[in-house]
A and B are shown apart, each in its own frame.
Chain A
Amino acid sequence: MRARLHRPDRRGRFGEYGGRFAPETLMTALEELEVEFAAAWADPLFVGEYHRMLELYVGRPTPLYPAHRLSERLGVEVWLKREDLAHTGAHKINNALGQGLLAHRMGKPRIIAETGAGQHGVATATAAAVLGLECQVYMGEVDIRRQAPNVSRMQILGADVIGVATGAGTLKDAVSEAMRDWARTVEETQYVIGSVVGPHPFPWMVRELQKVIGDEVLRQSEQLPDVAVACVGGGSNAIGMFWPLAGTGVELVGVEAGGEGIGTGRHGASIGAGSPGILHGARTYMLQDDDGQVLEAHSISAGLDYPGVGPEHSYFQEVGLARYVSVTDREALDGVRLLALTEGIIPALESAHAVAWVAREAASLRHKTVLINLSGRGDKDMEMLVESL
């Protein structure tokens, strides 16, 4: 097994994956961003401010919680990393705040973001408010309907939410539209991407800003778990937990969206059922046809409804640092109910995928210790949950 990479190579690659397939207009900004982030990340003042905000504003470290009743029900010792308790209700704030601080440091007065479930949009709108930046968020029209509470939250926080009607009106289209905006406004705007996707340096930078999750797990655990599980859309919460644990002997499992079932073609399992290609600036596993046209993903959870995955996950899969599985929409809904009834925690539909995988595999996980990254809370999904329960 090859080791994790501290930084991608000079061309922004994790092995065969990653790179910088972007329009020329953005290339200078991407080069600058790499230099600026590297400098900031080596600057104790910047890192100190980031960690001070994580502690006093976000409420970190988030608890590592032993889920006794769930453990009893499944016959598996389950621990939850409570990212749902972070300010704004998900791990997304770790990244949005870091990139917001960077934009501030670089003197960019405006930030833009894409959002699927709305959690990254809310986190970015929050960072913009607390740092005094202008903020616009691109969101697919379909997602605007299914995650309505988050749209209101962004607006109350002073962000403009711009609906995207192209394509399927979901996360992929929101990323594309944010990149188009950035090509037009690159000189005064920072694109705060929401996951470990996009052209270099985004996958590396977002992983650095999310790995606080796994770093805390290392500090909080008396004994490391046997297995660590996280849901994977673009994969930022997963890489944030996996990266510090990679190579420690903990088995890493990423759970992709199985949608209506892999066999139906309506899913978001880019690694499980896709192939390497180039999406949103990076070479990575993606859903595509023989002509290289990007296929629509499907998931009940807007945050996993994406036909690609972060290039570092493609690398982790290839070298065996992690393995990737999937659960269906139906199983994820059952996962929500299971966690709600046993632990009094309503997880986001995204995070419920990780819970559901543990529930499904309980027999083979017996006598093991399993850590689930509970990446977000389910308030945003209330309407869909009520409909389906």
Chain B
Amino acid sequence: MSNHDPAAAARMRSGAERIADLFSVAREEDRAVFLPFLTAGLPNPASSTRLFRAMAEAGADGFEVGIPYSDPLMDGPVICRGSEQAISEGATLDRSLSILGEVAETTGLPSLAMTYANPVFRRGVDRFCDRLAEAGAAGLIVADLPFDEAGSLGDAARRHGLGLVLFVALTSGYNRIRAVAEAAPSFIYAVANLGVTGERREWSGRVERLVEGIREVTDIPVVLGVGISTPEQAAIAAELADGFIVGTALVRRVLESSGEQDAARSVAGLVEEMASAARR
């Protein structure tokens, strides 16, 4: 094996380590990590990977790849519609995980599965993590899995070298933040607004206090998500936190696009603006 092949070296590092690398590199470069979210299987399973490639070229640092789910409780109408479309276009669980694998393989960027608890537990936490690791995923985020219920999945993720992400919300008190930190997630997904995913005109004035509250307890990287849809909001998020996630604005662009090429151009355009906002 060559010591000079960075791609091979990256493959040697576990998913959790690759996520950690993202944050240390960004810290050195004095910028935030930008993780776009897009549902696997949009606009259809065959052309989905191409959209992720376009976002990689436009400056994404890594990805949240949404595994479409029938009952996405944490998602607003746009991502719900995206999930419905992806499922009706044939994005089964296996097809979605293959897309995630293609994204990880062709972009070389750390890619995390974003899913809900039922598909994970239905398959079995160990089998699910095994399949993710095999596909080359770096980690996973489960929207309806608070730390209280994450024990067995956390163990399975560790066994397979995957990073598990846990949530903190505006409503989380000190004890819950402490418990999340003790579970040692790859990063903390700080939910920047009350409610479900979706675009918001206003920036919640409580986010600053939330990030401070987390920083007082731990130095685990903090990534803001929910309600970040404009470059202006991204710039604020980049100042406050170690990273940020943009989902609804990208899914909406795909849903409103006239075709695959238009969708790729449209998401790449937004990702480019967001990526420059990530530089502090």
Where the two chains meet, the residues of A that have a C-beta atom closer than 8 Å to any C-beta of B are 11, 19-29, 166-167, 172, 176, 179-180, 183-187, 277-281, 283, 288, 290-294
Some 19 contacts from A to B, beta carbons below 8 A apart, are: A11-B148, A21-B117, A21-B149, A22-B144, A24-B146, A24-B169, A25-B169, A25-B170, A26-B171, A28-B173, A166-B84, A176-B73, A180-B76, A180-B196, A277-B122, A279-B118, A281-B144, A292-B119, A293-B119
Number of residues of chain B lying within 8 A (CB) of chain A: 39
Q: Is B71's CB under 8 angstroms from A27's CB?
A: no
Closest residue of chain B to A182 (Cβ to Cβ) is B195
Q: Is B122's CB under 8 angstroms from A292's CB?
A: yes
Q: Is A29's CB under 8 angstroms from B171's CB?
A: yes
Q: Is A23's CB under 8 angstroms from B73's CB?
A: yes
- Contacts A166-B80, A278-B118 given; does A185 touch B194 at CB 8 Å: yes
Q: Is B118's CB under 8 angstroms from A180's CB?
A: no
Residues of B near A24 (CB, < 8 A) are 146, 166-169, 171-172, 176, 191
Q: Is A23's CB under 8 angstroms from B74's CB?
A: yes
Min Cβ gap B142→A in Å is 9
B270 CB-CB contact with A under 8 Å: no
B70 CB-CB contact with A under 8 Å: yes
Interface centre among A11, A28, A167 (most CB of B within 10 A): A28
Q: Is A187's CB under 8 angstroms from B194's CB?
A: yes
Residues of B near A180 (CB, < 8 A) are 73, 76, 195-196
Complexed CA–CA distance, A20 and B151 (Å): 13
Interface string of B95-125 (1 = CB under 8 A from A): 0000000000000000000000111111100
Complexed CA–CA distance, A367 and B270 (Å): 74
Complexed CA–CA distance, A280 and B70 (Å): 12
Interface string of B207-223 (1 = CB under 8 A from A): 00000000000000000
Complexed CA–CA distance, A176 and B92 (Å): 22
Q: Is A23's CB under 8 angstroms from B143's CB?
A: yes
* The one of A11, A25, A167 that contacts B171, using a Cβ cutoff of 8 Å: A25
Closest residue of chain B to A11 (Cβ to Cβ) is B148
The 5 lowest CB-CB distance pairs between A and B, nearest first, are: A292-B122, A184-B195, A24-B167, A292-B119, A291-B93
Q: Is B195's CB under 8 angstroms from A183's CB?
A: yes
Residues of A near B236 (CB, < 8 A) are none
Q: Is B71's CB under 8 angstroms from A172's CB?
A: yes
Closest residue of chain B to A30 (Cβ to Cβ) is B146
Q: Is A291's CB under 8 angstroms from B171's CB?
A: no
B20 CB-CB contact with A under 8 Å: no
Closest residue of chain B to A295 (Cβ to Cβ) is B70
Complexed CA–CA distance, A300 and B74 (Å): 30
B52 CB-CB contact with A under 8 Å: no
Complexed CA–CA distance, A29 and B170 (Å): 12
- Contacts A167-B71, A172-B71, A180-B73 given; does A23 touch B80 at CB 8 Å: no
Complexed CA–CA distance, A29 and B194 (Å): 12
B69 CB-CB contact with A under 8 Å: yes
Closest residue of chain A to B87 (Cβ to Cβ) is A293
Complexed CA–CA distance, A355 and B129 (Å): 47
B183 CB-CB contact with A under 8 Å: no
Residues of A near B170 (CB, < 8 A) are 25
- Other than the given A21-B144, A166-B84, 17 more pairs (CB < 8 A) read A11-B149, A20-B149, A21-B145, A23-B73, A25-B171, A25-B191, A28-B172, A29-B171, A166-B77, A180-B73, A180-B196, A187-B194, A277-B122, A279-B71, A292-B121, A294-B70, A294-B71
Residues of B near A27 (CB, < 8 A) are 146, 148, 169, 171-172, 176
